[in-house]
Amino acid sequence: MEFEEQIKQLKEYLDAEDINQFRDHFLELHVYEQSQVYLSLSDDERLRGYNFLSPKEMADMFEILEEEEESVEKYLEEMNPQYAADMLSEMYRDNAVDMLNQLDPATIKKYLSLMPAEDADGIRRLLKYEDDTAGSIMTTEYISIFANQTIKSAMSILKRKAPEAETIYYVYVVDSNRRLVGVISLRDLIVHEDDEMIFDIMGDRLVSVNVNDDQRDVARTIQDYDFLAIPVVDNEERLIGIITVDDIIDVINDEAASDYSGLAGVDVEEKSENPFVVASKRLPWLIILLFLGIGTSTLISNFEEMISEASILAVFISLITGTAGNAGTQSLAVAVRKLADSDENKRNFGKLILSEISSGLITGVVTGVTIFLAVGIWQQNFVLGLVIGIAMLAAITIANLAGSFIPILMEKIGFDPAVASGPFITTLTDLTSVLIYFNIAALFMDYLT
């Protein structure tokens, strides 16, 4: 049966209040498919669905939704508060925290008060960590053992705790003070003899992250080492949680969206369909760019007399500013990507700036020669072509310098380098390109009039 037909059938079971048929068919689906069914339901259908599914069954499906849906707050509010609290307590704690972080403090407090004390305390500990840190994305549902145990006793712990753990592929070894001293894989536990000691077979070449590390650095570490999970320690090297690869995938997606938003000067993930809300988010950037644009227009007006004497100069303004803006945006993209790299050996900003200046000179020369020949042949005026060519060379070089230097400068003074967005760089290069163009043209006015 096609999935669309399955959704239609499930809705019919809901309308008929046929709980047995609905449960039989719904619970046979993969949790992702369950989430798609849930998202397709009307308000009334969802309310009936809550009566047909337990908080645990709903939690399994909500693990897929997590924070991707802006309607999470709405979904929680339409549930019975105790049902919602029970569902959140059944979720892995890091995912429950992601959802709760979208709510106001009073609502969070309400749900926590309705949860079992142990679950509420565990969630509170995660809620205290700052956004975008390792602590904010870690889970405390992991398995740890002691180094002086046998494999048999460790497997006993693993079997007992596995149902609640988010992953069992890595088992972490701690000392009596819960300091991380080793790690052992599930495979090693299976293939070795029961009477062997953990300290004899564990790996002690540890890679861990601090609870206060930036989530981008954590993502880079997991990517570099190809881990499925990584341990999180506090300042005393005590194991306090783990971060799994599924959470890192979310981080990578979020960071990519942030970079795209910066380059575009707009939130690419905005989901509101209200045009006033969308406009209010975009207007600040546009107003700032508007004033920069006025600066460019004012600069051009200062050269009115020159333009009146050689009106052909006005034809090539947009050509020079547009090409320089494109070059600056390319350089900006390279710089932002370099800033996202946590490897200090790769973050050689001096080398980056020199490289961008060099590439600007090369592309400027090639572009300048091309436009020199094109304009000279087209307008039968090679002096005009020379002016355009030199201006193009200088504008592209300056644009490459601005595109690479400005985001680096912003990071150094504590601002998000994504603020150096594509529209900002483009508008700034318009200003500098016009200034360069008309000053070079002024040197050749005798040959242009």
Residue 198 has pLDDT above 90, yes or no: yes
Whether 33 and 161 share a structural domain: no
Domain extent for 181: 144-252
Between 254 and 397, residue with greater pLDDT: 397
**Rg of the chain over all Cα atoms, to the nearest angstrom:** 30
Average pLDDT of the residues in 24-39: 91
* CATH number of the domain bearing residue 156: 3.10.580.10
* CATH number of the domain bearing residue 362: 1.10.357.20
Average pLDDT of the residues in 152-161: 92
* Residue at a domain's end among 252, 283, 309: 252
For the segment 307-324, what is each residue's pLDDT rounded down to a tens digit? 888 888 888 888 898 888
For the segment 264-311, what is each residue's pLDDT rounded down to a tens digit? 555 545 555 567 766 776 677 677 777 777 888 888 888 888 888 888
In a domain, 259, yes or no: no
Which pLDDT score is estimated for 70?
Answer: 59
> Can you tell me whether residue 173 is helix, strand or coil?
strand
Average pLDDT of the residues in 181-189: 92
Whether 284 and 234 share a structural domain: no
Instruction: Please give the share of the chain, as a percent, with pLDDT higher than 70.
Output: 88
In a domain, 221, yes or no: yes
Average pLDDT of the residues in 169-195: 92
Q: How many C-alpha atoms does 344 have within 13 Å on its Cβ side?
A: 0
Report the chain's mean pLDDT, rounded to a whole number.
85
What share of residues in the chain are helix, strand, coil (percent, to 5)?
70, 10, 25
In a domain, 133, yes or no: no
Helices and strands (H, E) in the chain, number of each type = 23, 6
Whether 279 and 428 share a structural domain: yes
Which pLDDT score is estimated for 255?
Answer: 64
In a domain, 139, yes or no: no
CB 417 within 8 A of CB 407: yes
106-110, 127-131, 196-200, 371-375 — which is least confidently predicted?
Answer: 127-131
How many distinct structural domains can be found in the chain? 3
Whether 288 and 347 share a structural domain: yes
> Can you tell me whether residue 209 is helix, strand or coil?
strand
Which pLDDT score is estimated for 228?
Answer: 87
Whether 338 and 302 share a structural domain: yes
Which pLDDT score is estimated for 83?
Answer: 95
Cα(428)–Cα(224) distance, integer angstroms: 37
Which pLDDT score is estimated for 416?
Answer: 63
In a domain, 260, yes or no: no
Enclosing H/E stretch for 241:
strand 239-244
Residue 262 has pLDDT above 90, yes or no: no
In 3D space, the residue among 385, 361, 360 whose CA is nearest the CA of residue 371 turns out to be 385
Whether 156 and 227 share a structural domain: yes
Which pLDDT score is estimated for 268?
Answer: 47
- What is the bridge-based pairing of β-strands 180-185 and 209-210? unpaired
> Computed from CA positions of residues 217, 218, 223, 226, in that sequence, does the dihedral angle turn out positive or negative?
positive
In a domain, 134, yes or no: no
In a domain, 116, yes or no: yes
Whether 148 and 119 share a structural domain: no
Which pLDDT score is estimated for 152?
Answer: 93
85-89, 328-332, 428-432 — which is least confidently predicted?
Answer: 328-332
Between 256 and 177, residue with greater pLDDT: 177
In a domain, 329, yes or no: yes
- For 153-162, b/e burial (b = at least 16 CB within 10 A) is ebbeebeebe
- For 329-358, b/e burial (b = at least 16 CB within 10 A) is bbbbbbbbebbbebeeeeeebeebbeebbe
